[in-house]
Amino acid sequence: MSGAHDPEVQYHLQLRPGDVGRYVLLPGDPGRCEPIAAHFDEARLVASNREYTTYTGTLDGVPVSVVSTGIGCPSSAIAVEELIKLGADTFIRVGTSGAIQPDTPSGTLAIVTAAIRDEGTSSHYLPMEFPAIADPQVVDAITEAARRTGAPWERGVTQSKDSFYGEVEPERMPMAGMLADRWAAWVAGGAICSEMEASTIFIISAIHRVRAGGIMQVHNDAVGGEIDQNREHLLATAVESLRVLIAHDRDSSSWP
């Protein structure tokens, strides 16, 4: 029977029960899945379909997975919805982002505490007045992981947007004035980075009562700084975050 007609197989991810662990890292780029999985024990390629590539392995004896989401909130929503159906309950968005604060050095890891819902997908789930907030346990785990890996980091709010070029080339857009005003507002409000997936991942996770957070490597042309072209600081910190969560979940009394 083909996967598209098998009720056990998730249509887009092409995964079935048992294919993924409860802990899942979510990069956008399918090409980033294998380098992340190299940090797992006994990692194996499980499925690859469209923008969705999945590897599953273990960390400290616990099944963990990495699943690419593609670019943007619509494809990320599909991935998270189908992963939740398969039993996953802890998600960390892992990616790159643009700096919002003008003095943030490139290479800084942004540990996301909440997201500006500057996209359309999450409005199909909850009214825009509902905040997109990362799970505090996941935020604390990522922070502890960054301390362990020695990566430069800061915590704060991300802007999740729908238009990449609306951010990087706003001056050529018919709505240039509005885009500039909104960007100034994000700066004034203290937001630290801009990416394209976190808000919807947080909103869907809130509805399903599962945990989600995000860690982004920041790029800032205006300031410069060290960008790890292999993203090793980013990937190592993301994987270490899962180790922290696994250890805390084994001893739930260790959570505040």
Q: Give mean pLDDT, residues 99-103.
A: 96
CA distance 226 to 144: 22
Q: SS3 of 173, please?
A: coil
Please give the pLDDT value at position 255: 62
CA dihedral 56, 60, 62, 68 (to 10 degrees): -30
Average pLDDT of span 182-211: 98
Model pLDDT, residue 1: 37
Domain annotation covers residue 110:
yes
Greater confidence (43 vs 5) lies with: 43
Is 256 a member of any domain? no
Nearest to 149 by CA among 219, 61, 239: 239
Instruction: Please measure the distance between the N-terminal and C-terminal CA atoms of the chain and give it in whole angstroms.
Output: 48
pLDDT at 145 over 80: yes
Q: Give the pLDDT of residue 7.
A: 80
Q: What single string gives the DSSP state of each residue in 68-123?
A: ---SSHHHHHHHHHHHHHTT--EEEEEEEEEESSTTPPTT-EEEEEEEEEESSGGG
Residue 30 lies in a domain: yes
Domain assignment present for residue 146? The answer is yes
Bridge partners of residue 194, in order along the sequence? 98, 159
pTM for this entry: 0.94
Domain count, the chain: 1
CATH number, domain of 169, equals 3.40.50.1580
Domain assignment present for 255: no
Is 100 a member of any domain?
A: yes
Domain coverage including residue 83: 3-250
Q: Is the pLDDT of residue 231 over 90?
A: no
CA distances from 99 to 10, 82, 106, 191, 203 (A): 35, 31, 8, 9, 23
Nearest to 83, CA basis, from 20, 2, 37, 33 = 20
Summarised one tens digit per residue, pLDDT across range 22-51 is: 999 999 999 999 999 999 999 999 999 999
Give residues with Cβ within 8 angstroms of 153, minimum separation 6: 108, 109, 110, 111, 143, 146, 237
Tell me if residue 157 falls in helix, strand or coil: strand
